[in-house]
Amino acid sequence: MGTLTWTVWLLLAFTALAINVEVGAAPEYETGVAGGKQHSGQNPGYGDGGKGGDDDGDDHDDGGRQGHGHKKELSKNQKNILQKILKYLKLRLENAKGEIEFDGHRISIDFILTAVNINGGNIEKVKVKDLWEIIQLYEIYEKKLESEPQNRNISKDEQVTLLYAITYLRKHKDVTGDIVIDGVKIPVTYVLNQLKKHGQDIRNVTIEQLYKIIDAYISKYIPTPSPLGKQPTEEQKIELRAIIDFLKAQGSNAVGSFILSGHRISVRFILNYLAQHGLNVKNLTAQELWRIIHAYVNETDKLNKLPAKEKTDLRKILKYLKFLGEGATGEIAFNGTRISVDFILT
């Protein structure tokens, strides 16, 4: 295992298995799909059924109307943070996933992308005010989930996202966008066809039933890696700088992963690497980040060669951790070694 700590090693293992480790009267609210299709001659609007993201070019406008009645205006610093988050989400990096941290709250990236994509929207057209509205929308559905049956096999973020998707699809017909789970886009048409095939209907489907269909789709999605060059291209340098800005804005709260050249890269690994080598994200350069990504890819290549039994054991551990959620305690056993759950989550 070399010099890697158990924490870093397990994070590597989970990411190598392409599994998300994040733990963690709503039907009246919809999405404002920026650039999306319209229903009944109007764009539903992210939160209040009104106008969605417009093209006025004002990326600082927070809008006067919020998803669940909040009139709170964003500070200049908050707008700046949201701009950096948007820049990260708009990169051509495939399948960013995990969570963002904003104003003391964690918000699922899957939820954000689902809110944008479910009605055929485009993240490129989303503005700061749109993202702010989606964040508030997430809080609504997070609260609504408390009255739903708990499912130990599905993470909270996934349940919140699917609850929103079910609610939206029940209210709108002829939707041809995507639901995003675990960083993967699942076409709504595929989901509806599978429901019909199994004799189910969106009008009465449960979160668990919908998850089974989506999970089957995701299991077939395997990114095709391509070799990383010794030096990043000019285009990759732009992407690396956007990632660095995102890490600076999120600080130690940054989680999740993204795909670069077919390789899924763990954000937490990057932060752990910096800490282990006495580096600070504030001074991180694109060249240094490129070296860290190379180190990560080298380690995941080793982990991909793990015996099937060890991969199965890691999946069981992951399933258990997702059920425990935040604040979990106790121990798990792997390869004869007992490891503190709190240690892993930390």
Mean pLDDT of 18-43: 39
- Model confidence pLDDT, tens digit, residues 7-20: 555 555 555 443 33
- Comparing 60-69, 94-103, 266-275, 321-330, the range with the smallest average pLDDT is 60-69
Mean pLDDT calculated for residue range 180-188 = 92
pTM recorded for the entire structure: 0.67
Using alpha carbons, select from 163, 62, 61, 57 the residue that is nearest to residue 115: 163
Residues whose CB falls within 8 Å of the CB of residue 342, separated by 6 or more in sequence, listed in order: 328, 329
- pLDDT of amino acid 255: 82
**Residue 282: φ, ψ to 5°:** -65, -30
CB atoms within 10 A of CB 285: 12
Please give the pLDDT value at position 67. Answer: 40
How many percent of the chain have pLDDT more than 70? Answer: 68
Per-residue pLDDT tens digits for 106-139:
999 999 999 999 999 989 899 999 999 999 999 9
Identify the pLDDT of residue 10: 56
pLDDT bracket for residue 62 (50, 70, 90): very low
Distance of CA 115 to the CA centre of its chain: 12
DSSP 28: G
pLDDT range class, residue 173, cuts 50, 70, 90: confident
**What's the mean pLDDT in 316-336?**
66
The alpha carbon dihedral of 57, 61, 62, 66 has a sign of negative
Q: Is the pLDDT of residue 323 over 60?
A: yes
Statement: residue 28 has pLDDT above 90:
no
Backbone angles phi, psi at 259, to 5 degrees: -110, 125
Average per-residue pLDDT in the chain? Answer: 77
Is residue 299 very low, low, confident or very high in pLDDT (cuts 50, 70, 90)?
confident
| Residue 60, pLDDT score | 35
Lowest-pLDDT range of 30-39, 57-66, 162-171, 192-201: 57-66
Q: How confident is the model at residue 140 (pLDDT cuts 50, 70, 90)?
A: very high
Q: How confident is the model at residue 48 (pLDDT cuts 50, 70, 90)?
A: very low
pLDDT-derived band of residue 25, with 50, 70 and 90 as boundaries? very low
111: helix, coil or strand? Answer: helix
Residue 166 is predicted with a pLDDT of 97
Look at residue 40 in the predicted model and tell me its pLDDT.
34
